[in-house]
Structure 1
């Protein structure tokens, strides 16, 4: 993958659309703890290509995560799950970097989309309730690994993590806090390889600085929404976002082959 400038031309439309996309991602991070960044990427893709959007977002994710931790404090982290998940995440990011540079990553998007849709379909078939399952080390390691690969390849590490955490029956605060810290580690790690793939300069840095202004309001408004929703509503919203994410991944993967 060759480096490319992040923003070919800094126009008012580019600034407004990028700001809106970053705000949406921050809002979802405040409401659900993270993992649904790909939902906001289509907005950025209106004014730049997806690789460019990824390069723009990589350092911004770190700022979003650090700010979100003021809401998702240590008492909202499930440490036993993070201990199992994070090592696989780090290995997955490294593997995702190799795949991104040397292999066709559209197949990963399609497979992840199909697996996510099956997961949501099984949840719907069971009546849409929360079926509590015990913690599993192999499942946690696999979820961390898959999340690392997909967060590096498509900024979409949320589905594998959600498929592991949602059935555990965590409270909505612990679910969101655990997700938030998980992606704080992941986004800080993948920022380095993303900045190697896409090297920002000049107007790119100006756009990043402008988008930073969306973080406090976006995260704060999302956190307030989280407080208004009960446990069942939060989990239903997570499954709905998983569906949207799966459809976006499927679209990206298929159009990548057609294009």
Structure 2
């Protein structure tokens, strides 16, 4: 069993956790998910990373189900999901088996470096939306990498984005495909996370409180997406990838220094 400290239910903990979950829900509504790590630093202020993972695991499933009211079947790129999802499920299984043995710091650094190179190449090409041909091997690899990193550190967004963004999908299809991808992924990793983290009454009470952030967070994010054009959405996604990469880089490097 992974050691975790039960979160206290002080006003500070509740407010910070609520704000972190709201931010994650907002990103879910605006971009379909994949950038949940942006809200995790807030949670780390009031609880250890393992407890944060245990808190978020059921909340991810709840926000995914709520987001399906906006991201319906017409927004799913089924040709891309077909190779992505098997890789995702396999990656989650592999991540669970290796959870206790993987060096999370090294994974964070490698993922950060890869993401920064990917974004840098995009900017060098003129920061324009392009349409690259689909590749089944690349899709399976992206799904596998996303599955491992989402299981280990709730950071499965970069591998998926690095596959989907160059395809030049419409903003609705990009967000919908990302949303369904992580709906499947979060539902799959719920049980493994609950097995890894010792549940406590305070943790589940905090989950119940944070559920209240889901409707407003997802809805406001979805409205923002509707206000942005295709180019703006893609540029924001690439910008968010930089933030995620820098966060991962900090987590990895600081883990070795501390």
| Equivalent in the alignment of 2:4 | 4
1:95 deviation in Å? 1.3
Q: How does 1:1-259 map to 2 (within 5 A)?
A: 2-7=2-7, 9-259=8-258
Report which stretch shifted further, 209-218 or 190-199: 190-199
What is the TM-score when the length of structure 1 is the normalising length?
0.98
1:146 deviation in Å? 0.5
1:29 deviation in Å? 0.2
Task: Give the Cα–Cα distance (whole angstroms) in 2 for the partners of residues 252 and 96 of structure 1.
Answer: 18
Task: Give the Cα–Cα distance (whole angstroms) in 1 for the partners of residues 219 and 6 of structure 2.
Answer: 28
1:153 deviation in Å? 1.1
Unaligned runs of 5+ in 1: none
What is the TM-score when the length of structure 2 is the normalising length?
0.98
Q: Indicate the RMSD between aligned Cα atoms, in angstroms.
A: 0.9
1:6 deviation in Å? 3.6
Cα deviation, 1:131-157, whole Å, max 9, x if unaligned, reads 211000010000000000111111111
Task: Give the Cα–Cα distance (whole angstroms) in 1 for the partners of residues 251 and 229 of structure 2.
Answer: 33
Query: How many equivalent pairs are there?
Result: 258
* Matched-pair contact (CA < 8 Å) for 2:5–2:48: no
Cα deviation, 1:189-219, whole Å, max 9, x if unaligned, reads 1111111111222111111000000000000
Task: Give the Cα–Cα distance (whole angstroms) in 1 for the partners of residues 214 and 141 of structure 2.
Answer: 31
Unaligned runs of 5+ in 2: none
Shift of the 109–62 alpha-carbon distance from structure 1 to 2, 3 Å rule, reads same
* Matched-pair contact (CA < 8 Å) for 1:5–1:198: no
Task: Give the Cα–Cα distance (whole angstroms) in 2 for the partners of residues 218 and 208 of structure 1.
Answer: 15
1:35 deviation in Å? 0.2
Task: Give the Cα–Cα distance (whole angstroms) in 1 for the partners of residues 87 and 224 of structure 2.
Answer: 31
Task: Give the Cα–Cα distance (whole angstroms) in 2 for the partners of residues 5 and 194 of structure 1.
Answer: 15
1:169 deviation in Å? 1.1
* Matched-pair contact (CA < 8 Å) for 1:91–1:148: yes
